[in-house]
Structure 1
Amino acid sequence: MASPDSREEILDSLPVEVSLLRRLESLKELERQNPLGCSPRKERVAEHSWHIGIGVVLLAQYCPTDVDISRAVLLATVHDVVEAFVGDTFAFGNDVAGQQSREESAVAEICSKFPGPGATLLAGLWEEYESQSTPEARFVKGIDAFLPILLNFVNPENSSWREHSVSASKVTKRLERVATSLGPLADLNRRMISQAVAEGHLADG
C-alpha cells in the first residue's frame, strides 16, 4: 500500500480555485462597521454578501425594472470579494477616496495569483457590479444601500451612525445615488432617516 500524502503535499496540490476559495474564507471574519439588526456585534462581510443576495430574491418585486434574479444573486455574492485582499471600506470613512484604486488592484492580484477561469469569472462579475452597466448591478447596488440603513435604524444603540457621528445628509446622499433602482424601498429608507434624526440617533445636517 502506498504511503499517504503529507499534509503539505495535499495542500500544495490544491487546484488554484480551491486556494482562492480558502483565501476568500477570511470574509467570514472580516468586520464591517454596520451592526447586525438582531445583535450588538458588527456584521461581517460574508454575512453582508449573503444578506444582499437574500434581499435580491425577496425584494426584486420592488425593483422598477425587470431583473434576472439569478444574475443579481451572483453579483451580490461576489460584490465584496476584493475585501479579502484590501479590507472593508466604511461608506462614510476618510479612506473612501482611494477605495476604487485599491479594489482594482485587488482584482488584478486575484487574476495574477489565482489564474484560471474561476478568477476570470469572479473578476468579470465584480467589474459588472462596479461599472453599474446592467439593471442587475444597479439593483444590487441599491440593496447594498438599503440594508445598511435598515440595520442601523433597527439597532440604533449599536449603529455605525452613532459610533461615527454620521450626518443624515451623508446617508441621504448615498441613498439618492441608487434611489431609482429601489422604487418604494427608497421612500421607506427616507422615512427611516427622518425618524432616526428625530430620535437623535442620526446627526442632523
Structure 2
Amino acid sequence: MEILADQTPLPDAIDERLRSQLTFVIEVDRLKTVLRQSPLAAAPRRENDAEHSWHLAMMVVLLAEHSDEPIDVGHTIRLVLVHDLVEIYAGDTPLYSASTDQQEREEAAADRLFGLLPPDQAVAMRALWDEFEARVTPEARFAKAMDRLQPLLLNWMARGGTWKSPGVTADVVRARKAVIGEASSALWEAGQVLIDEGERRGWSRSGS
C-alpha cells in the first residue's frame, strides 16, 4: 500500500522536516476510514476510529476528575489520540474477537506509520503508543479506561449493540470492561450499573 502523499507528492520546495510531518498528517487521514463495531448514538451506522479517538479525548477532558490518581490531562489526551493510529495498517480488532495476532500486526504497523515522521517525533509518538499499551502510568490507565467506557456507553444507547454478538454474555462484558476499575472506581461502578441494567432488560445474555 503506497502512502497517500505519494499520490500527489508534496513540492520539494517545502522544508524536509515539515514535508515529513505533513506526509504523516495526510497519512493519518486514513483513520477516518477504519470502521469499528460500535454503533453511533446519533446515527444508524458504525463509528470510525477517528470519531472514537475524538470522543475519548473529550471524555478525558470531562471525566478526569474521576481518576483515582492525579493525571496530566494533556498527556492523557495525547495518549488517546495516538492509541488507535496503528489500526490504519493493522485494522480494527473488535473487543470480543478471538484474534491471536493483534499485537504482532499492531507492532509492525507502528514501525511503519511512525517511521514516516522525523526521527525525534517518531520516537516520541511511538513512546506514547507503547505507554498506552503498557498501562503502567496513571495517564495510560485512565486512557485505557476511556477506551473501554466509551463503547459501553454506545452499546447502552443501542440497547445492546455488540453485547448481542455471538458468544458474548453479560459476564464476558464485565470481564472485558473491568480494566476501567484500574483507573477509576467511580466510573467502573457506573459502568457496572449499566451492564447490570442492560442484562436485566435483556440487552445481553446472562451467564458466563
Residue 161 of structure 1 corresponds to which residue in structure 2? 163
> Any idea what SS the aligned residue of 2:43 has?
coil
Q: For 1:172 and 1:43, how far apart are their aligned partners in 2?
A: 22
Give, in whole Å, the separation in 2 of the partners of 1:85 and 1:12.
Answer: 27
Distance 1:25 1:49, change over 3 A: same
Normalised to the residue count of structure 2, the TM-score between the two structures is 0.87
Compared CA separation, residues 148 and 113, structure 1 to 2 (3 A) = same
Post-superposition offset of 1:156: 1.5
Structure 1 regions of 5+ residues with no counterpart? 1-6
Corresponding residue for residue 4 of structure 2: none
Which of residues 16, 21, 35 is equivalent to 1:31?
35
Q: CA deviation at 1:106?
A: 1.1
Say whether the 8 Å CA contact 1:111–1:119 is kept in structure 2: yes
Root mean square deviation of aligned Cα: 1.9
Q: Deviations over 1:37-56 (max 9, x none)?
A: 22221011000000001000
For 1:102, the equivalent position in structure 2 comes to: 105
* More divergent stretch after superposition (135-144 vs 31-40): 31-40
2:175 is matched with: 173
Could you tell me which of 196, 199, 202 is aligned with 2:204? 202
Change (3 A) 1:29 1:13: farther
Q: 1:63 deviation in Å?
A: 0.7
TM-score normalised over the length of structure 1: 0.88
1:10 equivalenced with 2:13 (yes/no): no
Of the three residues 144, 148, 161, the one matched with 1:145 is 148
3-state SS of paired residue (1:156): coil
> What is the identity, as a one-letter code, of the residue corresponding to 1:10?
L
Shift of 1:120: 2.1
Q: Contact 1:17–1:119 at 8 Å: present in 2 too?
A: no
Stretches (4+) displaced over 6 A = none
Shift of 1:34: 0.5
1:85 and 2:77 equivalent? no
In the alignment, the residues of structure 1 paired with residue 85 and residue 9 of structure 2 have an alpha-carbon distance, to the nearest angstrom, of 28
Which among 53, 71, 76 is matched to residue 75 of structure 2? Answer: 71
SS for the counterpart of 1:140 is helix
Number of residue equivalences: 197
In the TM superposition, residue 148 of structure 1 has moved relative to its aligned partner by 0.9
1:62, distance to aligned residue in structure 2 (A): 0.7
Deviation per residue, 1:12-35 (Å, 9 max, x gap): 776122112211111112110001
- Other-structure match for 1:122: 125
Q: Shift of the alpha carbon at 1:168?
A: 1.1
Distance in 1, Cα, partners of 2:39 & 2:94: 12
Structure 1 residue matching 2:101: 3-state secondary structure: helix
Provide the rounded CA distance (Å) in 2 between the counterparts of 1:12 and 1:98: 39
Residue 38 of structure 1 aligns with an amino acid whose one-letter code is A
1:3 aligns with none
Distance 1:40 1:164, change over 3 A: farther
Q: Does residue 1:54 correspond to 2:58, yes or no?
A: yes
Unpaired segments ≥5 residues, structure 2: 1-6
